[in-house]
A and B are shown apart, each in its own frame.
Chain A
Amino acid sequence: MEFFHSVPRYRFMAVRKICYVLSALIIVGSIAAEAIHGLNLAVDFTGGVVIEAAYTGTADLDGTRSALKSAGYSEVTVQNFGSSKDVLVRLPPLGERESPNAVTAKVETALQTVDPGVQIRRTEVVGPQVGRELVVKGMQAMAITVLLILLYIAMRFRWKFGVGAVLATLHDPFVVVGVFALTGMTFDLTVLAAVLAVIGYSINETVVVFDRVRELFPVMRQETPEQVFDRAINETLSRTVITKVATLIVVVALYLFGGESLRGFGLALIVGIIAVTYSSMFVASGVALDLGSSHRDLMPSERKAPIDDLP
Chain B
Amino acid sequence: MNRYPLWKSLLFAGVMVLALLVALPNLFGQAPALQLSRKDGELFTGTTALNQVTATLAREHLDPDVAFVQAGRIILRFKDVPTQLRARDAIDAAAPDSYAIATTLTSRAPQWTRTLGLKPMSLGLDLRGGIYLVYEVDVEGAVKQTLQRLDRDYRLALREKKLAYESIDGGAGGVDVTFKDGATAAAAQKVLEAVDSNVTLIGSPDGLTIHATLSPAQVKQRQDFAIQQNITALGNRVNALGVSEASVQRQGANRIAVQLPGVQDASEVIRLLGKTATLEVRLVSDAGNAMEAQATGHAPLGTKLYKDRNGRPVLLKRDVVVTGEQLTDATSSYQNGEPAVSVRLDARGGDEMLRTTQENLGKPMGIVFIEKERQLRDQDGQKVAVDVTKEQVISVATIHGVFSSQFQITGLTAREGQELAKLLRAGALAAPVYIVEQRLIGPSLGQDNIDKGIRALEIGSIALFIFMAVYYSLFGFVANFVLLCNVVLLAAFLSLVGAALTLPGIAGIMLTVGMAVDANILIYERIREELRLGVTPHAAIKAGFEKAFSAIGDANVTTLIAGVVLWSFGTGPIKGFAVVLSVGILTTLFTALMGSRTVIGLFWGDKTTIKRLPV
Contact = CB atoms under 8 A, between A and B. Distances in A.
A193 interface: yes
Interface in B451-467: 452-453, 455-457, 459-461, 463-464, 467
A205 B550 CA distance: 13
Name the prevailing secondary structure of the A interface residues. helix
A15 interface: no
B168 interface: no
A245 B435 CA distance: 45
B460 A254 contact: yes
Contacts of A74: none
B551 A212 contact: yes
Given A96-B376, A257-B456, A249 B557 contact: no
| A: interface residue count bin | 35 or more
B577 interface: yes
B212 interface: no
Contacts of A152: 557-558, 561
A269 B510 CA distance: 11
A288 to B, nearest CB: 15
Given A2-B528, A122-B439, A250-B461, A153 B452 contact: no
Contacts of A29: none
Interface stretch (A18-26, A31-39, A97-105, A292-300): A97-105
B109 interface: no
A238 interface: yes
A28 interface: no
Given A96-B376, A243-B517, A247-B515, A254 B510 contact: yes
B562 A207 contact: no
Interface string B375-407: 111100001000000000000000000000000
A307 interface: yes
Of residues B438, B549, B562, which shows the largest number of chain A Cβ atoms within 10 Å of its Cβ?
B562
Interface stretch (B34-42, B84-92, B441-449): B441-449
Contacts of A129: 436
B556 interface: yes
A52 interface: yes
Given A97-B377, A122-B445, A126-B437, A253 B573 contact: no
A310 B593 contact: yes
B559 A204 contact: yes
Contact of B514 (A97, A153, A199, A247): A247
A127 B437 contact: yes
A248 to B, nearest CB: 8
A189 interface: yes
A307 B461 CA distance: 33
A125 interface: yes
Contact of A307 (B134, B507, B518, B546): B546
B577 to A, nearest CB: 5
Interface centre among B452, B455, B473 (most CB of A within 10 A): B452
A245 B513 CA distance: 13
Contacts of A236: 525
A246 B514 contact: yes
Contacts of B551: 207-208, 211-212
Contact of A121 (B445, B453, B506): B445
A256 interface: yes
A204 B423 CA distance: 55
Contact of B562 (A126, A127, A199): A199
Given A123-B438, A204-B559, A242-B521, A193 B449 contact: no
Given A121-B445, A310-B545, A247 B518 contact: yes
A201 B515 CA distance: 8
A144 B455 CA distance: 35
Contacts of A262: 452-453, 456, 503, 506-507
A256 B456 CA distance: 8
* B interface, size bucket: 35 or more
B114 interface: no
A193 to B, nearest CB: 5
A123 B559 CA distance: 34
A125 to B, nearest CB: 4
B176 interface: no
Interface string B107-128: 0000000000000000000100
Contact of B8 (A210, A253, A311): A311
Interface string B518-532: 100110010011001
Nearest to A120: B442
Contacts of B470: 1
Interface in B350-373: none
A148 B514 contact: no
A156 interface: yes
Given A156-B554, A265-B504, A246 B517 contact: yes
A213 B551 CA distance: 11
A1 B546 contact: no
A215 B557 contact: no
A305 interface: yes
Contacts of B511: 197, 250-251, 269
Given A207-B554, A239-B525, A193 B504 contact: yes
B507 A305 contact: no
A96 B378 contact: yes
A203 B436 CA distance: 36
A124 interface: yes
B266 A190 contact: no
A235 B453 contact: no
Interface in B560-592: 560-563, 565-566, 568-570, 572-574, 577-578, 581, 589-590
22 contacts: A1-B471, A2-B471, A104-B440, A119-B442, A121-B441, A126-B438, A130-B436, A149-B558, A152-B558, A152-B561, A190-B573, A200-B560, A200-B563, A205-B555, A208-B555, A239-B525, A242-B521, A243-B518, A250-B513, A251-B511, A258-B452, A262-B452
Chain A to chain B: the 3 pairs with minimum beta-carbon distance, closest first: A200-B562, A253-B460, A259-B452
Given A54-B444, A149-B558, A190-B503, 9 more contacts: A1-B471, A99-B375, A101-B438, A123-B440, A203-B562, A210-B554, A235-B529, A251-B510, A259-B456
